[in-house]
Amino acid sequence: MFGRVVYEPGSTLGPRIQDGLQLVGIESGRATIQVEQKRHELKAGWMCLLLPGHDEHFRFARRQQTRHNWCTMHFEPGIPDFDEVMQGLPFAVPMTPLMESLIEWGLQARANAHQSASPLCVHLGQSLFYAWLAAHQQTKAHHPHPSAIELARVFIAQYHTHPILLEDIATAANVSNNHLIRLFKDHLDITPSRYLWQYRTQRGVELLLHTGLPITQIAQRVGFATPFHFSRWVKQIHNVSPRQLRERHWKQTHQKAIR
């Protein structure tokens, strides 16, 4: 089951007993979640894993609305070593663009009243869980970036289609503009603004290669004010125009198909 809700400032939820495996992501605001006797702070851009059978109590931000999503999965008890494996996982990981997309697809599938949507929701829920595990494994395999960078990247992934400024990204990351610039340069060797435009370009190239949308429409969909600006970034990164990049990709795909 997928869901999304907005809580008013100072709202609470619970106490309750968690009846399934649940992933809870904070899109804006924050939440304090007490699980049994342990208290956790969940910031915007992070998704936590809640295990069945535990007592929970949520307290949401006092001075702003909190918007969060969730996915609850129910399954038969008695899975071998389930508790041992689950207890070794962290409470929360940064939400990745993939996790955000799976949430959106799950919400759309839930809104579809057709019977075929039910198995689709199941597969999307499983995929979200595996994406959460993958984010955890990636964090273990590499030195994690400061949380401000992860929050900034999540914000960019969520709002890159809208006009956003450096100040907006810094606010989402809870740091000053200058501090965010230093963090991005130190850890990613790029400025936040350039990261934003590269991210928009990457999303645009995906649409360019895998859809028949006009280039002008693609540019608008991923946050560029003009197709000229989008074309300039594509050429800067790929050394060819968007039209040439699409034609080359489709030609290569056709040649592979006829071999």
> What is the sign, positive or negative, of the torsion defined by CA atoms of 46, 52, 57, 58?
positive
Q: Check if the beta carbon of residue 32 is closer than 8 Å to that of residue 39.
A: yes
The ranges assigned to domains in the chain are 2-141, 147-258
pLDDT computed for residue 137 by the predictor: 72
pLDDT computed for residue 259 by the predictor: 63
**Residue numbers of the chain with a pLDDT score lower than 50:** none
pLDDT computed for residue 197 by the predictor: 96
- For residue 232 the two structure tokens come to 């300039």
pLDDT computed for residue 75 by the predictor: 67
Residue recorded with tokens 């968007």? 242
Residue recorded with tokens 């606010």? 171
CATH architecture classification, 147-258 = Orthogonal Bundle (1.10)
- For residue 242 the two structure tokens come to 């968007």
Rounded distance between C-alpha atoms, residue 104 and residue 106, angstroms? 5
- Report which of 93, 186, 187, 79 is spatially closest to residue 135, judged by C-alpha positions: 93
pLDDT computed for residue 258 by the predictor: 65
Rounded distance between C-alpha atoms, residue 151 and residue 174, angstroms? 8
Rounded distance between C-alpha atoms, residue 180 and residue 237, angstroms? 24
Residue recorded with tokens 């915007």? 44
Provide Rg for the chain, Cα atoms. 21
Decide which of 3.40.50.720, 2.60.120.280, 2.160.10.10, 3.30.420.10 is the CATH code for 2-141: 2.60.120.280
Q: Check if the beta carbon of residue 83 is closer than 8 Å to that of residue 112.
A: no
Residues with Cβ < 8 Å from 146, sequence gap 6 or more? 183, 187
Q: What is the DSSP string of the chain?
A: -EEEEEEPTT-EEEEEE--SEEEEEEEESEEEEEETTEEEEEETTEEEEE-TT-EEEEEE-SSS-EEEEEEEE---S--TTHHHHHHTS-SEEEPPHHHHHHHHHHHHHHH--STTHHHHHHHHHHHHHHHHHHHHHHHHHSPPPPHHHHHHHHHHHHHTTS---HHHHHHHHTS-HHHHHHHHHHHHSS-HHHHHHHHHHHHHHHHHHH----HHHHHHHTT-SSHHHHHHHHHHHHSS-HHHHHHHHHHHHHHHHH-
